[in-house]
Structure 1
């Protein structure tokens, strides 16, 4: 094989048109492997491109994809890592802190320390007020979003009659990307879950993305009999070893008009793909992404899974619809994202250096003038049932929110021009504010405990009563509002057995704060490290709970 010919071809085109140039024959023809040797349009295209006659040799789709992967895999993976950085460096998280940001951060620290030396008491007083007010208003904003989400008339929702009326011969090819890493125990279940999707087999293009050094998952895959529409893509080794890098690599092999992302443990509603097709066709063209709701099949397994379920329920059933109703950037969830493939490519795919690539892409969608919709379909996942595993996962999420804030706040004036003042303020309250709130919470809680319970002399001497009253009110009111929001979340899905557990939210937030400080440490020392979440720990069967999963009730 003469690789000089394949190097002249566009990577996406090779897989979309299913051909691979091999070598020049002695009679002057270029030998090309093609899935359809009778394709005269392709023959004409290649004749013009290579300025020589073309001779096709028949090859299967998988053989062509495999050949292209073997010969061009290293180039593909470098494109997956550096393409966004090359095309739009200000949108890439490769550089964690820019020079202006470092100057601002160290300048602010220097000013704060100087003020402490000049007047320690007043600086501590007003800092306390500032922190507690910021904490309270961030919580108040989330309450406002939740109320907007509960009242919003979700005119983008798709009903069952619309799904039934969808002619199957008009359905487009739908690509599903399944990025997995060390998920050998879940592969068999994953295949079974996706087989339940109500979509024509011949129009499903499923790509299982496995890292080259993931021997356990690769060995598990070799022992399975995959459906014909499943294809295993081995991602060549390249740092960073992140989910978005694997997904970017998978983009080069996609055949679908639409594309969905699922995780290894996901159990999507059977009609989710059809609902997204209907909704994409109903909504204006600027809607390029749809986010499905996420919830948990093991919600009642233990205390942690109950708290996690409350959190996810108000997040996806209330806050995201609230963001959409206010036209504020929506941070996507890590799974059940549905894209228009051509627009995803236009956006540059995912940032491989951002460990919450989903949230980052959701903001980038708005910056580019597109919109995110919310579809009334649920994907059930496995809620973390083990505290240390939960902290690993949550520290990555919070670190990613910090990364996303740093990337998109490199040029605040430009961000305002692109998404407007409302979007700008919403982004900072929701994305930046989430991380800041978790970092502030233990500080404010400590002062409250020292003042109201321990009655330490230095605290009462340092802060006047009015300062401590403000801090106490903001902390208590903030926690009360979050308890209320968590209680509110049970009604759409009728999870009434969870309502009293919302009172434990202040304790749940302590876990968030631990994860936030771990995420902050990693942001400084290991910004691109992907903290692996272990799945398959639950003893609850996903199939036993899928039939009982309540669909959210629309507001009227």
Structure 2
């Protein structure tokens, strides 16, 4: 009897893993199905005159001045024109705050510092504090270690104009694929996520936005109350709320317009990052917003996105341990 139960459980697990693998393959290859699909997943030609202004928030915590300034310089070098840049820090992080003030002093006409003084610290709390200072038509978010492509904002402006989007998600690409076996795997996952999977989800009407290179019309973001201060995946949560309310979210990709970042430099760092993401996705799903998305396919996709990442919480550390 026990042997039969073990066999049945093994078959069930195998079928479940096969289903996950097949559906993941479907999502990962969506962008290459046809010439029309490849065309629809790219940016439009940036031919019209720029008409939107941008406020870019750079949330920083325990970051080096060198890393932060490299990010700020890339944002100031945009061919669209220099945006308003808000360096977001917490009052309990004096080293980063000091670095932010020195950087802002070097670029006084374009950069300013937002200091969050709430007792409870989190990225969404910092973002909401910074949102109060934004004056641009569109609010964009860039991680402290992000290097934006020089023509990115010009193409984002065009995308808003030709699609009538309420939010636009740009692409991120990890670049340190030669550092380790898990860095290579991480880089490939980012590539398929931003090059293919998100475009499929946009077509279905359910977009879990990323935490960087994401742009939202400021008036709409303010009406929504900004980011959920208690959410571990505030970026995903914002995308779910936009999807639920029927707002148009566009995802665009071009290899020359990706924002460059690096994967965590250690297995423990990678595990902490992925655990937070998985728990955050499950937290967003538990809130129930995804269950009221208008279409059945989008609701099923929301359930998949919210629940399947949780399987990696337990498997991830053990898999890393096996391969070390």
Measured against the shorter chain, the TM-score band is 0.7 to 0.9
Q: Deviations over 1:123-163 (max 9, x none)?
A: 6554444433233212221111223222224436335xx32
* Equivalent position of 1:481 in the other structure: none
TM-score, normalized by length of structure 1? 0.53
1:166 counterpart (19, 37, 48): 48
1:145/1:223 Cα in 2 relative to 1: closer, same or farther (>3 Å)? closer
1:366/1:123 Cα in 2 relative to 1: closer, same or farther (>3 Å)? farther
The answer as to 2:179 corresponding to 1:298 is no
Q: Distance in 2 between matches of 1:426 and 1:278?
A: 29
Contact 1:135 1:440 in 2 (8 A): no
Task: Within 5 Å, give how 1:373-452 maps onto structure 2.
Answer: 373-376=250-253, 377-408=257-288, 415=291, 417-436=292-311, 438=312
Contact 2:57 2:88 in 1 (8 A): yes
1:280 Cα deviation after fit: 0.8
Task: Within 5 Å, give how 1:46-125 maps onto structure 2.
Answer: 125=7
* Equivalent position of 2:157 in the other structure: 277
TM-score, normalized by length of structure 2? 0.88
2:188 counterpart (296, 310, 325): 310
1:129/1:351 Cα in 2 relative to 1: closer, same or farther (>3 Å)? farther
Contact 2:278 2:313 in 1 (8 A): no
Contact 2:91 2:117 in 1 (8 A): yes
2:200 counterpart (277, 300, 322): 322
Q: Deviations over 1:345-400 (max 9, x none)?
A: 23332111111111121111111111321122310012222212211211111111
Task: Within 5 Å, give how 1:535-546 maps onto structure 2.
Answer: none
Q: Secondary structure at the match of 1:351?
A: coil
Q: Distance in 2 between matches of 1:512 and 1:255?
A: 48
Q: Distance in 1 between matches of 2:58 and 2:210?
A: 15
1:195 counterpart (56, 62, 76): 76
Q: How many residues align?
A: 314
2:20 counterpart (138, 149, 153): 138
Q: Secondary structure at the match of 2:84?
A: strand
Contact 2:275 2:313 in 1 (8 A): no
1:238 Cα deviation after fit: 2.4
1:439/1:175 Cα in 2 relative to 1: closer, same or farther (>3 Å)? closer
Contact 2:281 2:305 in 1 (8 A): no
1:205 counterpart (84, 87, 108): 84
Gapped regions of structure 2 (runs ≥ 5): none
* Equivalent position of 1:346 in the other structure: 223
1:329 Cα deviation after fit: 1.1
Contact 1:330 1:362 in 2 (8 A): yes
Q: Secondary structure at the match of 1:300?
A: coil
Larger Rg: 1
Q: Distance in 2 between matches of 1:434 and 1:189?
A: 32
Contact 2:175 2:187 in 1 (8 A): no
1:135/1:346 Cα in 2 relative to 1: closer, same or farther (>3 Å)? farther
1:187/1:346 Cα in 2 relative to 1: closer, same or farther (>3 Å)? same
2:122 counterpart (228, 242, 250): 242
Contact 2:31 2:41 in 1 (8 A): no
Q: Secondary structure at the match of 2:112?
A: strand
Gapped regions of structure 1 (runs ≥ 5): 1-118, 443-507, 515-556
1:511/1:347 Cα in 2 relative to 1: closer, same or farther (>3 Å)? farther
* Equivalent position of 1:511 in the other structure: 320
Q: Distance in 2 between matches of 1:426 and 1:139?
A: 15
